[in-house]
Chain A
């Protein structure tokens, strides 16, 4: 069984093609939660990081505000289940 979750993050993250998380999760079981493994791509500059509260652009997720680039849009999330 394979579970794929291609998030919209790639579009948001920097200019390179680095996707800051694992995109294929194997051995998915029912009723078990799983957090995708983070991968290192780019870092904010130290001052940007200090202001945003994280050094990792993919983890920047303000509650509100104009800068929502790194937030997942759940309605548009693309999911496929295969068995």
Chain B
């Protein structure tokens, strides 16, 4: 089982790939390879987000299911250190 921060890091990285491929596709709409890569990261980030939310809580205040009581308040706020991952040397 991956740690919370490791999973969060993967989610952010996967979301970033989606974003950058989306920008590429806006100028290259016929690029099949780019579309399949984009689709790959859509599926991947969806899976990672699901896994994270099942184990560690809500990632979004309007797009995540919450058990009772309302869970959003349990998470550290985005600007708190606890809410953020750090890169380590093995990441490159």
Size category of the binding interface on chain B: 20 to 34
Could you mark each residue 1-27 of chain B with 1 if its beta carbon is under 8 Å from any beta carbon of chain A, else 0?
000000001101110110011001001
In the complex, number of A-B residue pairs with CB atoms less than 8 Å apart: 42
- Secondary structure class of chain B's binding surface, majority of residues: helix
Q: At the interface, yes or no: A48 with Cβ under 8 Å from chain B? A: yes
Task: Check A50 against B16 for contact (C-beta < 8 Å).
Answer: yes
Residue on A nearest B91 in the bound complex, by CB: A47
Q: Give the B-binding residues of A (Cβ under 8 A).
A: 38, 40, 43, 46-51, 54-56
Q: Give the A-binding residues of B (Cβ under 8 A).
A: 9-10, 12-14, 16-17, 20-21, 24, 27-28, 31, 33-34, 37, 41, 87, 91-92
